[in-house]
Structure 1
């Protein structure tokens, strides 16, 4: 019997680990670390650093594996993602069987929290359809928490609702109907330029919670271009970027 622990590790800062996450990592026989190419090696290195900090020398082995690249030629976004997830699930199964031939527990360190705009749970479901598998989930600090903490702001207004969406949705559908505070994740860059900036405030963070965190905020009409420029420079410098922002309409 194989088991997978999906362990939320926050936004890459080892200080984000909960005691529960640390104990779960220690209980694993192997930690699987995905590689996304040289341009995103910082992500793998952050996972390695977390393991080095909290695991004893006699702790689980680290096993790295290369993730497949999503097929950009497929025009249907949902189909493109589904095919990509199928390919990753096959690799997960191969890695589990190779690392633990007789069964055992493997850990996956999940950026942020496994429940929020992360596909690790869906991948685990695919793997479970292919082999006997027990699944355990350990929650982690989300990018939303890291962002609001960095800006020292509350997520919501008093009694107000919060909408969480993606850059793709904001760009294609505009401001969510009836929304007051909108958190935007998975933005390929500048989706906020697709909405009317009047009377909208923005709090933007890149690499939230990490040592290289960047933060900008203010009226959207005034800081939009500065955010775009800062984002482009940071992406060029690091080879990758993760950013998140909160938009709020003035009452």
Structure 2
């Protein structure tokens, strides 16, 4: 068996020629299917259809999202459930399969870890091809560089934002936002975007104290338009 992990950016328009060639070689795509109206599954179907590849949807196991005490264990349990679900499909169909990763597989995505576990259970090989990431599109949309001259950018999650600020981080790219917590950061600057690269894209930038309300409204518009919202933002201290 062969498995490709393919970064597809924010939709069909971001599929690179390299990823397109790999996708054409596949027999099928495996895609998680979440409950309700799954806009991300629809996007994956559109990409696969453009290259004549069948999509096998697999009901995505539920994850404990109630801020469990042991967050790491909750994620590991979720990954294990995904491994078992995907293993059944791979054993039955064999051939060459692909996982289409929103954005890039290297950044806050679990697919590589899941496939590593699958490779320990099945006689298979796998490879990874990169995609365009949300931070890249965010920087392009706002026409900015993610870091000041000669300085770093700290990529983190909303869950860790307050801890990272407390340790002295002053230039942070924040992903996996869930809810926005910008209290006390009024004088910081923010460059924010949601559903980047899609028809429901929203952008806001400015001083946090001046645009926090605009961000919340734009976030709601994106969710109402697409049925889901995935946002990312750059936060910089004054």
Aligned residues: 237
In 1, Cα distance between the equivalents of 2:151 and 2:64?
A: 40
Matched, 1:162 2:150: no
Determine which of 204, 217, 221 is the counterpart of 2:205: 217
- Report the Cα offset of residue 43 of structure 1: 0.5
Other structure's SS at 2:29 match = strand
Determine which of 12, 28, 31 is the counterpart of 2:29: 31
Partner of 2:234: 246
Partner of 1:62: 55
Alignment of 1:85-104 (within 5 A): 85-100=79-94, 104=95
Normalised TM-score (structure 1):
0.88
In 1, Cα distance between the equivalents of 2:81 and 2:166?
A: 33
Other structure's SS at 1:68 match = coil
For the 8 Å contact 1:9–1:17, the answer to whether it is kept is: yes
Partner of 1:110: 101
Partner of 1:227: 215
- Report the Cα offset of residue 168 of structure 1: 0.1
- Report the Cα offset of residue 177 of structure 1: 3.2
- Report the Cα offset of residue 61 of structure 1: 2.6
Partner of 2:44: 47
Normalised TM-score (structure 2):
0.93
In 1, Cα distance between the equivalents of 2:102 and 2:41?
A: 11
For the 8 Å contact 1:189–1:228, the answer to whether it is kept is: no
For the 8 Å contact 1:170–1:192, the answer to whether it is kept is: no
- Report the Cα offset of residue 31 of structure 1: 1.2
In 2, Cα distance between the equivalents of 1:118 and 1:112?
A: 9
For the 8 Å contact 1:156–1:181, the answer to whether it is kept is: yes
Alignment of 1:193-204 (within 5 A): 193=183, 195-198=184-187, 200-204=188-192
For the 8 Å contact 1:4–1:135, the answer to whether it is kept is: yes
Partner of 2:123: 132
In 1, Cα distance between the equivalents of 2:145 and 2:128?
A: 27
Q: Deviations over 1:57-76 (max 9, x none)?
A: xx433212211111346542
- Report the Cα offset of residue 176 of structure 1: 5.6
